[in-house]
């Protein structure tokens, strides 16, 4: 018998001072049985950090081979941003870069290892693709306080992420790395 996804609800107050984005967002995040809690938290934070009109989680979830974990479409339905999570393979990043105007990778893993597996591979517009890393200890601490229903405040100032979730407060710099 197949396992079902676990639903997590998030009410997020988003204040991204760096980009001038201020929103309240209600999210239902399905955590697939094969998805780690760390991946789900990184996916949620990438959604918040990339928030704009047309952003959504992939329809196929983490098992989708045709779409990234997070994507942005314009009003015509055209894919404008392809956001990968974790340690995607070079073929996915290459494909996303050919389809979307912008590609970004968010990882909770060792950024040196993620970069090593992508560097030197054939990736369209590799020099324009940022890899953002979140501190692993930060992600682990956030995972420890996640419930099925969550209230969060996400603030970004000078590329530092401040997160208050379910009464606990955390912060981490958002480190940017480049493939080339």
Q: Contact, 149 vs 167, CB < 8 A?
A: no
pLDDT digits (tens, 9 = 90+) for 71-116: 999 999 999 999 999 999 999 999 999 999 999 999 999 999 999 9
Question: What's the sign of the alpha-carbon dihedral 115, 120, 126, 127?
Answer: positive
DSSP 158: T
Half-sphere exposure of 169 (CA within 13 A, CB side): 2
C-alpha span between 118 and 146 (Å, rounded): 31
The pLDDT value recorded for residue 61 is: 58
Residue 25 β-bridge partners? 12
CB atoms under 10 Å from CB of 95, counted, come to 19
Average pLDDT over residues 142-163: 98
pTM here is 0.95
DSSP 35: S
Q: What is the largest CA-CA distance in the chain?
A: 47
pLDDT digits (tens, 9 = 90+) for 54-68: 999 998 656 667 899
C-alpha span between 56 and 162 (Å, rounded): 22
Write out the two tokens for 39: 């991946």
Average pLDDT over residues 123-132: 96
pLDDT digits (tens, 9 = 90+) for 14-51: 999 999 999 999 999 999 888 999 999 999 999 999 99
3-state SS assignment for residue 41: helix
């Amino acid at each position: 018998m197949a396992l079902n996804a676990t639903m997590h609800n998030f009410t997020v107050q988003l204040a991204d001072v760096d980009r001038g984005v201020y929103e309240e967002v209600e999210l239902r995040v399905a955590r697939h049985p094969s998805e780690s809690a760390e991946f789900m938290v990184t996916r949620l934070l990438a959604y918040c950090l990339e928030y704009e009109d047309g952003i959504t989680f992939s329809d196929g979830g983490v098992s989708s081979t045709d779409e990234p974990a997070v994507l942005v479409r314009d009003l015509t339905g055209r894919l404008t941003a392809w956001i990968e999570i974790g340690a995607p393979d070079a073929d996915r990043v290459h494909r996303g870069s050919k389809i979307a105007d912008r590609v970004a990778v968010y990882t909770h893993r060792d950024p040196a290892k993620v970069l090593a597996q992508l560097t030197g591979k054939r990736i369209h517009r590799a020099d324009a693709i940022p890899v953002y890393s979140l501190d692993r200890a930060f992600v682990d601490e956030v995972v420890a306080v996640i419930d099925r229903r969550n209230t969060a405040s996400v603030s970004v100032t000078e590329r530092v992420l401040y997160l208050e979730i379910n009464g606990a407060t955390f912060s981490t710099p958002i480190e940017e790395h480049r493939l080339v």
